[in-house]
Amino acid sequence: MAHLSLDPKKIETCRKLASSIARPIEGLIQAHTTIAIERATLRLLGVNGAVTRNGQYYPEVNAIIDTLHKAGVLGQGVLHWFANGMIQKKMSAAELGSAVARGKVDLLKLPRAPEATVRAKARELCEQARDLLVERREQRDGIRRETRDTFDPEGKNGPLLYVIVATGNIFDDVIQARAAAQAGADAIAVIRSTAQSLLDFVPHGATTEGFGGTYATQENFRIMREALDEESRKLGRYIRLTNYCSGLCMPEIAALGALERLDFLLNDAMYGILFRDINMKRTLIDQHFSRLIIALSRIVIHTGEDNYLTTADAVENGHQVLASQFINERFASHAHMTENLMGLGHAQEMNPEHPNVFLLEIARAQMTRDIFPKAPIKFMPPTRHKCGDIFYSHLMDAMFNFVGVLTGQTIQLLGMATEAMHTPLLQDRWMSIKNAKYIFGGAKDLGADISFRPNGIIEKWAEKVLDETVAHLEMIHGKGLMKAIEERAFAEVSRTETGGKGHDGVIVRAQGYLNPFFELL
Amino acid sequence: MSGETGPRKVNLKKLRPYGDIMDDGTVQLCFTLPVEPSPEAREAAVQFCQKMGFDPVKVATMEKAAEGFSTFVIYGNTKFSVDFTAIKVLKVDAQKRAREEIDEIIRTRIGRKLVVLGACTGFDAHTVGIDAIMNMKGFAGDYGLERYQWLDARNLGAQVLNEDLLKRAVEAKADAILVSKVVTQHNIHQRDLKDLMARAKKQGLLEKMIFVAGGPRVTHPLALECGFDAGFGVGTKPSDVASYIVEEFLRRQGVSLDEAKPKAPARKKGKKS
Ligand code: B12
């Protein structure tokens, strides 16, 4: 594989800056919990039912946490109340959860067992939950072995063919996903319905009506994973499943994704902050807990830096992407994630009419590969400059595939000729997979057979972006991450520390906050 | 020998698609049938095209897109034609003007800044379109409404709920409201647009404000159908919108800009469909 000669000292500087940028946030994470973390905690213990409210499902965990939050007692952690409840009522977590959610038991009115007993009970519950997560992980790894799994995080086996389904109806999604797998896709993402990230609860059950995507629910995860297991066995090739773990329910989606054996999760607080206007404190704190679950379950995350290039010009703002990747890398390792789980995201989004655009795109893709050699880099296709001319659009995807295979990207989200029109039809996906197979096969070893001319256009561009990244990280370091976001450090979007959705779900941890998951995961 | 003396001319009364011979009616199609590829599947595709009026029908390819699905690429020649001379399209009624000219009209004829509120509504989080119209920087070399001296343009961003948008518009005494809708699955855009107009009607705002919709799948007729005053689609430039707003504002005051046209040379009518 050809490499760029980037200055390792500059890369080292970036990593150092990123870790000092992340440090104050890590302090913030340590000092707070959120309603979503507490809900996820209960979900991990097995409280996954729902009550009916106004004719709709409302999760039990929401009913329970709403009450405790209103009473202002969540600073001690839900387990402080819930583990005591289980002792007093001699009920399982699921039984107690159901009873509390239906107003049959009031956790705050129960007698209290001795503190040490409650703590021991909480620890025992969390250990069992952790064991279950490990069991689910091993089950998943078993199916990977049983079928055939060629995934290599470093991209040595060529880019993984990754496509999305987004019909809005989980049963139609299954048809589309199976078809994609048969056509050659290795990974399927079920796109979430518009604005699910703004819901402060996870919808319940199988769903058939979504906009621009399908609701992420535990049951939908299960239905799709079951179909893909079957398809993997039939094809003798393991098919991965992806969903979206961002927004107000980040930790819960991580919990449900882990329980339902998902392989990939899009997981990035920055995406929620910039593109969904989710409060930054809330989502950064949530992200940490979600990543603890993800690390244990060895799910590969995808970060969302690629999106920056839809609102900020891609030729000029490569440094924003790279700077954010360094910060994301730091947050991930703070949550015990190893590099092989960090699917850092970037995209081929430059204006196709820019002179020498492919040289610049190759520079960006290659430097991403070289700077994060062990990470399963996620490479996103052109979208912003896609237009109704589907033939031109198909060509743009072909060049994107060429850059991907040349530079050894790990996870290649295939572009769709109809990107500017609609979420993909069966034939759009089929055509796009055919495109990718042709190019990935035909240029398989090209990267290993060439080298980059020292001081050539590609090398120079990479160096320029790296220099700009150092400067950008220095600026962010000077201001602090939150202030920098306010001043449009990323994606030309401004957000404030207390603005956005979900801020009222952030809770200061009280002395003795009880949540053994923070030690066990 | 056909006795032709030059290229055949288009017959606008009977307009047909063109491949390489005038009036050949050539159409390229691509679709999927939910059946396995087979001679019967191919025949089904042919019959399907015949029913749509194509003859002859040439199946370029029948591909197995997945188990139980065949995707076809087909060329057919249609016998249908349309009378181009009889076509009428509803267009936004405004003369296209330059920013300086629009500012000048507002300054001299209205004498105060027009307040314009823009938002991408509902759960739609796409800001790039409304930003292209509102923000300083503008779109395709055409400055955005914020750049106009005589417009007080305020971009509320995305995910703005209809009721909040109207509340803000009333507070700001807005003269025009610009709504962007990008996500269209299950016609969510139309639902949201109609909902906004129903609320505006209830609050008696229809006469007080100019309602403009926009987005890649929005057309002027669609916007009218949803109760808006105008609609703008792909490739809209900020000055297209500003031209319309100022003209419509004056029209409502009973003033037509045509009479008192400033020195600028007469230009083609704005053509947005
Ligand atoms: C960028 C982008 C995003 C970015 C948005 C970033 C941002 N802050 O805006 C991100 C990554 C966040 C995103 C998210 C999603 N997206 Co998106 N996105 C796009 C993309 C690639 C480009 C859109 C764009 O910026 N175009 C450039 C602008 C300048 O063009 P424009 O919007 O058409 O605007 C012009 C005109 O229409 C007009 N105009 C627009 N608004 C207005 C308003 C007025 C008043 C006027 C006068 C004119 C006007 O003027 C503008 C300038 O000419 C399109 C695909 C494509 N290439 O079109 C998909 C696309 C729009 N997205 C799509 C979807 C489904 C989504 C998601 C729902 C996916 C999901 N399930 O998560 C989410 C949305 C979540 C939500 N809550 O809305 C679909 C919509 C499908 C459909 N028809 O329903 C598309 C078509 C992609 C696809 N094929 O699936 N997306």
Q: Are residue A213 and residue A256 in the same domain, yes or no? A: yes
Q: Are residue A39 and residue A187 in the same domain, yes or no? A: no
Measured between CA atoms, the residue of chain A closest to residue B62 is A427
Q: Are residue A224 and residue A327 in the same domain, yes or no? A: yes
Measured between CA atoms, the residue of chain B closest to residue A387 is B234
Residues of chain A positioned with their CB less than 8 A from the CB of B160: none
CATH of domain B12-77: 3.30.30.60
Q: Are residue A338 and residue A271 in the same domain, yes or no? A: yes
Tokens for A109, please give them: 């009115």
| Residue B67 to residue A179, Cβ atoms within 8 A | yes
- Cβ–ligand 1 distance for B178 under 6 Å, the answer yes
Domain CATH number, residue A108: 1.10.8.1000
| Residue A211 to residue B127, Cβ atoms within 8 A | no
- Top mutation candidate among A419, A428, A490, A501 for ligand 1, by most atoms within 8 Å of CB: A419
- Cβ–ligand 1 distance for B186 under 6 Å, the answer no
pLDDT tens for B216-228 read: 999 999 999 999 9
State which of A459, A476, A504 marks the end of a domain: A459
Q: Are residue A211 and residue A74 in the same domain, yes or no? A: no
A386 is catalytic: no
Does ipTM exceed 0.85? yes
Q: Are residue A180 and residue A94 in the same domain, yes or no? A: no
A36 is a domain residue: yes
A80, burial (CB in 10 Å: exposed 0-12, middle 13-18, buried 19+): buried
Q: Are residue A161 and residue A120 in the same domain, yes or no? A: no
The protein residue whose alpha carbon is closest to atom 66 in ligand 1 is A212
How high is the pLDDT of residue B263? 45
| Residue A194 to residue B123, Cβ atoms within 8 A | yes
B137 is catalytic: yes
CA distance B152 to chain A (A): 21
Q: Please report the number of interchain residue pairs, chain A to chain B, with beta-carbon separation below 8 angstroms.
A: 66
CA distance A358 to chain B (A): 22
The protein residue whose alpha carbon is closest to atom 13 in ligand 1 is B126
Global pTM value: 0.94
Question: H-type helices in A90-169, by residue range?
Answer: 93-101, 115-146
DSSP-assigned letter for residue A49:
-
Give the residue among B71, B78, B60, B76 at the shortest CA–CA distance from B28: B76
Distance CA B182, CA B121 (A): 9
SS3 for A204-238, per residue? CCCCCCCCCCCCCCHHHHHHHHHHHHHHHHHHCCC
- What domain count does chain A have? 2
DSSP state letters, chain B: -----SPPPP-GGGB---SSSTT--EEEEEEEESS--SHHHHHHHHHHHHHTTEEEEEEEEEEEEETTEEEEEEEEEE---B-GGG--------B---HHHHHHHIIIII-SPEEEEEEEBTT----HHHHHHHSTT-BTTB--GGG-TTEEEEE--SSB-HHHHHHHHHHTT-SEEEEE----GGGHHHHHHHHHHHHHHHTT-TTTSEEEEE-TT--HHHHHHTT-SEEE-TT--HHHHHHHHHHHHHHHTT--TTTT--SSPP-PBP---
Host domain of residue A95 = 32-129
How high is the pLDDT of residue B265? 44
| Residue B66 to residue A430, Cβ atoms within 8 A | yes
Strand-pair partners of A346: A379
B159 touches chain A (CB under 8 A): yes
Q: Are residue A59 and residue A158 in the same domain, yes or no? A: no
Q: For chain B, what are the domain ranges?
A: 12-77, 99-260
- Cβ–ligand 1 distance for B230 under 6 Å, the answer no
Å from CA of B182 to ligand 1 middle: 5
- The CATH class that applies to domain B99-260 reads alpha beta
- Cβ–ligand 1 distance for B157 under 6 Å, the answer no
Q: Are residue A413 and residue A311 in the same domain, yes or no? A: yes
A490 is a domain residue: no
From residue A64, alpha-carbon distances to A58, A86, A153, A361, B154 in Å are 11, 14, 40, 50, 41
One digit per residue, the tens of pLDDT, for chain A of length 521 reads 899 999 999 999 999 999 999 999 999 999 999 999 999 999 999 999 999 999 999 999 999 999 999 999 999 999 999 999 999 999 999 999 999 999 999 999 999 999 999 999 999 999 999 999 999 999 999 999 999 998 999 999 999 999 999 999 999 999 999 999 999 999 999 999 988 999 999 999 999 998 889 999 999 999 999 999 999 999 999 999 999 999 999 999 999 999 999 999 999 999 999 999 999 999 999 999 999 999 999 999 999 999 999 999 999 999 999 999 999 999 999 999 999 999 999 999 999 999 999 999 999 999 999 999 999 999 999 999 999 999 999 999 999 999 999 999 999 999 999 999 999 999 999 999 999 999 999 999 999 999 999 999 999 999 999 999 999 999 999 999 999 999 999 999 999 999 999 999 999 999 999 999 999 99
Taking 50 as the pLDDT cut, the residues of chain B under it are: 262-273
B69 touches chain A (CB under 8 A): yes
Q: Are residue A62 and residue A180 in the same domain, yes or no? A: no
Phi then psi dihedrals of residue A188, to 5 deg? -125, 130
A23 is a domain residue: no
Residues of chain A positioned with their CB less than 8 A from the CB of B188: 194, 211-212
How high is the pLDDT of residue B1? 52
pLDDT tens for B1-60 read: 567 788 889 999 999 999 999 999 999 999 999 999 999 999 999 999 999 999 999 999
Tell me how many degrees the CA angle B68-B69-B71 measures, rounded to the nearest 5.
160
CA distance A145 to chain B (A): 25
Catalytic-role residue among A306, A370, A397, A428: A306
A51 is a domain residue: yes
- Top mutation candidate among B92, B126, B159, B197 for ligand 1, by most atoms within 8 Å of CB: B126
How high is the pLDDT of residue A1? 85
Residues of chain B positioned with their CB less than 8 A from the CB of A384: 128
Query: Among B137, B155, B159, which would you mutate to test the A interface (most chain A Cβ atoms within 10 Å of its Cβ)?
Result: B159
Å from CA of B124 to ligand 1 middle: 8
State which of A77, A94, A129 marks the end of a domain: A129
How high is the pLDDT of residue A249? 98
State which of A440, A459, A478 marks the end of a domain: A459
Beta strands at A342-343 and A300-302: parallel, antiparallel or unpaired: parallel
* Option in B66, B185, B186 nearest A183 (CB): B66
Q: Are residue A165 and residue A125 in the same domain, yes or no? A: no
- Cβ–ligand 1 distance for B132 under 6 Å, the answer yes
A140 is a domain residue: no
Q: Are residue A165 and residue A256 in the same domain, yes or no? A: yes
- Cβ–ligand 1 distance for A167 under 6 Å, the answer no
Q: What percent of chain B has pLDDT over 70?
A: 93
pLDDT tens for A238-252 read: 999 999 999 999 999
B140 touches chain A (CB under 8 A): no
A217 is a domain residue: yes
Domain CATH number, residue A380: 3.20.20.440
